[in-house]
Amino acid sequence: MVTDAAAIIAVEPITTYLLDISGLRTCYFLSVHLFFEDMKDAYNREINYLRLSVTDRCNLRCRYCMPEEGISKLAHEDILTEEEMVTAVRACAQLGIDKVRITGGEPLLKRNIISICNRISEISEIKTLVMTTNGILLTEYVKELKKAGVQRLNISLDTLDSEKFGRITRIGSLDKVWRGLMCAINEGFEKIKINCVLINGFNDDEIPALVSLTQKYPLDVRFIELMGMNEDGFFNENSFLPSSAVLEQLPELQRVGDNGVCTLYSLPGSKGSVGLISPLTAKFCSSCNRIRITADGKVKPCLHSNQEISIKGLELEGMKYAIERAILEKPASHGLTLEKLSQSGRSMNRIGG
């Protein structure tokens, strides 16, 4: 049994690292690996949530996410294969991950997305399988996704105005997203959420209308503070809108609890909840329970850190070593502020949201 404040941890077959594990739960040293009763990082946060990006490609050009001309796409050989993606999830599951969110780019552009979802849903340790999508292709895939084991959907939607939707996405159709949303509701997913990025001077006047969706339909609305991911991330220096603006416009919202990084509210008699996600004004890093794997096989311990650990080309045990290392090296908090851009080194579509 390891009880010292510092222990040598083997996270790759032939490499050892020195890590301070003071404050962690009792752990057991078996062979050359360190195993935990629960997979906790160095700050005693239990990590049980994986966000897996399956592609960097997208059929929209949202202004806060990617440049107008798009991106230089990853070469096919640089992207994780389906087998590698499934193996990565198996490795995560053996380390205590029980929730997986499939992201992109736009995940429904991935030709084998149904097969990927189906295989992940069959991993016994994975209790929750979710997908984040822009909804453009949802009408075509909604039935197949449900059959493949996807239980919940998050749909990105920053405005209910067609002209503004075209402006922020540059090439998108609100009608397609709305039809996809209605199809998803009719299909009876366990939970459907709308993700709305708050942007001052753009959609701040639509907050009441967006919240009213929770009264009309069985869905939740999540308002997310705008994060500066790169030099093109903000429309201008005045675009940031704190999540508190939602409460200022709708003081009748009642707090009903917390869900990880999200503070939950609801209107009396509503069918769904309103969530505020406040990475800048109410930094929630102390409750962060997630890691990310990019489409090209890099484990990112933190969205806003440039730290990346590659798992491309590794077998199951090698992936476990690398993912365990990423969890144990997860930083205490991100360094993002209104004045300081993300240090992620990637645009959001290359990370997976």
Residues 270-282: what's their mean pLDDT? 91
- Is the same domain home to 137 and 10? no
pLDDT in tens, 312-337: 999 999 999 999 999 998 888 765 65
Q: Is the pLDDT of residue 5 over 70?
A: no
pLDDT at residue 260, as a whole number: 78
- Is the same domain home to 9 and 144? no
pLDDT at residue 54, as a whole number: 96
- Is the same domain home to 147 and 243? yes
CATH of residue 121's domain is 3.20.20.70
pLDDT at residue 302, as a whole number: 81
pLDDT at residue 144, as a whole number: 98
| Partners of residue 155 on adjacent β-strands | 133, 194
Residues 267-296: what's their mean pLDDT? 90
Q: Is the pLDDT of residue 13 over 70?
A: no
- Is the same domain home to 89 and 8? no
Total domain count for the chain? 2
- Is the same domain home to 31 and 100? no
Kindly state the helix (H) or strand (E) to which residue 144 belongs, with its residue range. helix 138-147
Helix (H, G, I), strand (E, B) or coil at 109: helix
Q: Is the pLDDT of residue 259 over 80?
A: yes
C-alpha pair distances (Å), 113 with each of 15, 225, 299: 35, 29, 20
Domain hosting 205: range is: 40-351
In the numeric block, which tokens belong to residue 149?
A: 């084991």
pLDDT at residue 347, as a whole number: 59
**How many Å apart are CA 28 and CA 85, to the nearest integer?**
28
pLDDT at residue 344, as a whole number: 58
pLDDT at residue 236, as a whole number: 65
- Is the same domain home to 26 and 58? no
C-alpha pair distances (Å), 301 with each of 97, 176, 179, 184, 185: 14, 34, 36, 31, 33
**Residue 146 phi, psi (nearest 5):** -60, -45
Output the average pLDDT for the chain. Answer: 84
pLDDT in tens, 280-294: 787 777 788 999 999
- Is the same domain home to 286 and 330? yes
- Is the same domain home to 120 and 9? no
Whether this model's pTM surpasses 0.75: yes
Most distant pair of Cα atoms in the chain: their distance: 62
| Partners of residue 16 on adjacent β-strands | 10
Residues 134-160: what's their mean pLDDT? 98
Helix (H, G, I), strand (E, B) or coil at 16: strand
In the numeric block, which tokens belong to residue 237?
A: 């220096």
Instruction: Return the exposure string of 139-153: e unless at least 16 CB atoms fall within 10 Å of the residue's CB, then b.
Output: bebbeebbebbbebb
E runs forming strands in 82-143? 99-103, 128-133
- Is the same domain home to 58 and 74? yes
C-alpha pair distances (Å), 21 with each of 15, 25, 42, 146, 184: 18, 9, 6, 41, 44
- Is the same domain home to 13 and 155? no
pLDDT at residue 25, as a whole number: 36
Which residues have CB under 8 Å from 178's CB, separation 6+?
none
Q: Is the pLDDT of residue 98 over 90?
A: yes
Higher pLDDT, 158 or 10: 158
Residue 350's pLDDT band (boundaries 50, 70, 90)? low
Higher pLDDT, 19 or 146: 146
- Is the same domain home to 195 and 339? yes
Beta strand 191-198 pairing with 220-225: parallel
- Is the same domain home to 241 and 135? yes
